[in-house]
Amino acid sequence: MEKVVICGANAYEKKYYFNKEFDKIPQSIQDDLHIMCVLFTEETGGILTVGFDEDGELMLETMAEEDDIYYDEIAAGMLVKKVRESRQEVFEALQLYYRAIIKKEPIEDIIKEAEQSGLNE
């Protein structure tokens, strides 16, 4: 399976995108993602996407156009880390939703894996 994008914001075009495949996610979480993406790109510029990699891990990717001299890759990376920490519970829930509902992984496997990772922390 390839990467799947939930949502993203583009500072250049002043646009926000939400993947309709995830429209069953509660509206409050959709709204939170919207606000987070837009505020992120307002602060850093460039483009932010939120999605899942081939293994079902949640990813936040930020990028900029080559000629964007105002984009600060280091500041964007630091902000990604801050956002991941402040929204950890939401991202964990999204990851579970993705694995169970979108990828249709067996719930038992997801629970077992979550319990094992909890014991290893």
Q: Which pLDDT score is estimated for 121? A: 46
Q: Which pLDDT score is estimated for 120? A: 46
- CA distances 109 to 92, 112, 113, 114, 116, Å, are 16, 5, 6, 9, 11
Q: Which pLDDT score is estimated for 44? A: 92
Q: Where are the domains of the chain?
A: 4-120
**pLDDT by 10-residue block (mean), the chain, 121 residues:** 90 96 93 95 94 90 92 92 94 89 86 70 46
